[in-house]
Amino acid sequence: ARGNANEKDVAKNLAVDTKQIAQRRLKTELALINRNAIEGCKVQLIHDNLFRWLVTLDGADETPYEGGRFLLRVIFPPSYPFDEPKVEFITRIYHCNVRNNRVCEGRWSPVCSIGQLFLSIRLMMISPDLENAASPNIAKLYLTERKAHDDMAREWTDRYARCN
């Protein structure tokens, strides 16, 4: 019975240590993002919770997303950076690398910073990763009928991401 209690204590201490690592890392990354702004990207905490962020990405010029403002919710697990954050678009977007509002699933590495992730998402909106499409039908349309794809993406941007 004593062995079981020790295992529970060790597990509890590891969980606390992991959460402290996550808090330190998130504070550092948030400070870096605030100090070195990423073009077209704004970050704020949701209810002052370091593990829940609201990100605003502006659609890049000369893309179907131009003029759009896209909101993303980022939820960090207590085991961050060892486990990936959950990144989802709140604003609907027509994009081959987004499925069920989720983006970048299964592609996280602890050596990446969250700022790099936001930059990657913004770049993905300029140049989609067709080889790793989360929505193959959208990728196919992009490849075979680019104008129809861009018209649809522009329509969704107008409908869901304009701040008029």
Q: Are strands 49-58 and 86-89 parallel, antiparallel or unpaired?
A: unpaired
- Report how far residue 33's alpha carbon sits from residue 116's, in angstroms, rounded to the nearest whole number: 10
Cα torsion angle, 152, 153, 155, 160, sign: positive
Nearest CA-CA partner of 93 in 19, 154, 17: 154
- Marked catalytic residue, from 41, 104, 112, 163: 104
- Residue 104 annotated to the active site: yes
Nearest CA-CA partner of 118 in 34, 37, 41: 41
Residues with a known catalytic role: 104
